[in-house]
């Protein structure tokens, strides 16, 4: 039996009168890649951010492997422990502009993980190499393409050896011709059984990379299934509508 890496139970979140998460349950097992799909505004980013506590849930329980917390007992210590076990890859890369690719990867290893500079550099080089970016170790983000920046951000997440990597639309800020290179890297990471939760609007990528697909609509997860089951035989009516709309958009843009 593989371990549970993420378990969320009855997660609720409101922004003023906007009830954004309406009791979400989600489990991600060790080594699994889960794709989180859903229309714009359905609450996907908010749900991810309730795992590493960039947003504080109003209600519910979260477990990140060996660490559990309840919405009503979140303090600085809990935030620190949640962030120690997770890494996030953002749409807009989130690299430090004044640091080289290698320094971006080693920063948290040195300041948070308390590694020596030499050890951090060794780890940093190893993970830059994994995403094909070792040759750009000394370059600044402004000299890299969007795809290259995102690969550095992914190597930074991997270097932290987190329990799970949270991806929020990792390819949606990229020029179309750069999407593939980043998807290829994520696929390679998935093959190495790194646990990942990926929010994406790219259906082909989700189908290809995910072990499990979860579909969110209006603050709830309506359906969780294998990619084959999800894309060929969606059970929920709203899932069917979502996929139909996606297919229509696809034919219009051809
Ligand atoms: N910090 C915030 N303050 C107030 N409202 C917010 C905040 N963050 C998100 N929301 C609202 O919560 C709802 C869900 O937003 P969220 O960003 O989680 O959706 P999403 O599924 O990630 O959408 P998208 O696919 O467009 O990224 C939206 O109505 C949004 O306006
Ligand atoms: Mg979002």
Mean pLDDT along residues 231-253: 87
**Please, which residues have CB less than 5 A from ligand 2, an ion?**
45
Q: Ligand 1 atom closest to Cα of 39?
A: 25
The pLDDT, as a whole number, for residue 247 is 84
Which ligand neighbours the alpha carbon of 49 most closely?
1
The pLDDT, as a whole number, for residue 253 is 55
* Predicted confidence (pLDDT) per residue in 106-159, tens digit: 999 999 999 999 999 999 999 999 999 999 999 999 999 999 999 999 999 999
* Predicted confidence (pLDDT) per residue in 163-221, tens digit: 999 999 999 999 999 999 999 999 999 999 999 999 999 999 999 999 999 999 999 99
Name the residue with the closest Cα to ligand 1, atom 24: 40
Name the residue with the closest Cα to ligand 1, atom 17: 45
Name residues contacting ligand 1 (CB within 6 A): 15, 18, 20, 38, 40-46
Q: What share of the chain is helix, strand, coil (3-state, %, to 5)?
A: 45, 25, 30
pTM score, two decimals? 0.96
Mean pLDDT along residues 14-25: 98
The pLDDT, as a whole number, for residue 251 is 67
**Residue among 154, 54, 136, 149 at smallest CA distance from 97:** 149
* Predicted confidence (pLDDT) per residue in 32-86, tens digit: 999 999 999 999 999 999 999 999 999 999 999 999 999 999 999 999 999 999 9
Residue 24: CA count within 13 A, CB half-sphere: 35
Domain ranges of the chain: 1-85+210-254
What superfamily does domain 1-85+210-254 belong to in CATH? P-loop containing nucleotide triphosphate hydrolases (3.40.50.300)
Name the residue with the closest Cα to ligand 1, atom 10: 15
Dihedral sign of CA atoms 186, 190, 33, 231 in order = positive
The pLDDT, as a whole number, for residue 15 is 98
For the cut 60, the answer to whether the pLDDT of residue 254 exceeds it is no
How far is the C-alpha of 38 from the C-alpha of 239, rounded, in Å?
Answer: 9
In the structure, what pLDDT confidence band is assigned to residue 250 with cuts at 50, 70 and 90?
low
> Percent of the chain, pLDDT > 90?
95
Rg, C-alpha atoms of the chain: 18
């Amino acid at each position: 039996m593989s371990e549970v890496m993420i378990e969320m139970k009855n997660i609720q979140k409101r922004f003023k009168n906007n009830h954004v998460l309406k009791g979400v349950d989600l489990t991600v097992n060790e080594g699994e890649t889960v794709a989180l799909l859903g229309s714009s505004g359905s609450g996907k980013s908010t749900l991810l951010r309730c795992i590493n506590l960039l947003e504080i849930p109003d209600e519910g329980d979260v477990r990140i492997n060996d660490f559990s917390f309840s919405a009503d007992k979140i303090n600085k210590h809990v935030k620190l422990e949640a962030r120690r076990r997770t890494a996030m890859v953002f749409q807009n890369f989130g690299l430090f502009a004044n640091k080289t690719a290698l320094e971006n990867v080693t920063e948290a290893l040195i300041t948070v993980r308390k590694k020596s500079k030499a050890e951090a550099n060794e780890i940093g080089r190893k993970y830059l190499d994994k995403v094909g970016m070792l040759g750009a170790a000394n370059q600044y983000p402004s000299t890299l393409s969007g795809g290259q920046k995102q690969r550095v951000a992914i190597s930074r997440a991997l270097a932290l050896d987190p329990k799970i990597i949270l991806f929020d639309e990792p390819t949606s800020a990229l020029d179309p011709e750069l999407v593939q290179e980043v998807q290829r890297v994520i696929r390679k990471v998935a093959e190495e059984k790194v646990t990942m939760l990926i929010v994406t609007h790219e259906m082909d990528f989700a189908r290809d990379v995910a072990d499990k697909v979860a579909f969110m609509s209006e603050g709830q997860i309506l359906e969780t299934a294998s990619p084959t089951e999800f894309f060929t035989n969606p059970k929920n009516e709203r899932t069917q509508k979502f996929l139909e709309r996606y297919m229509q958009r696809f034919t219009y843009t051809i």
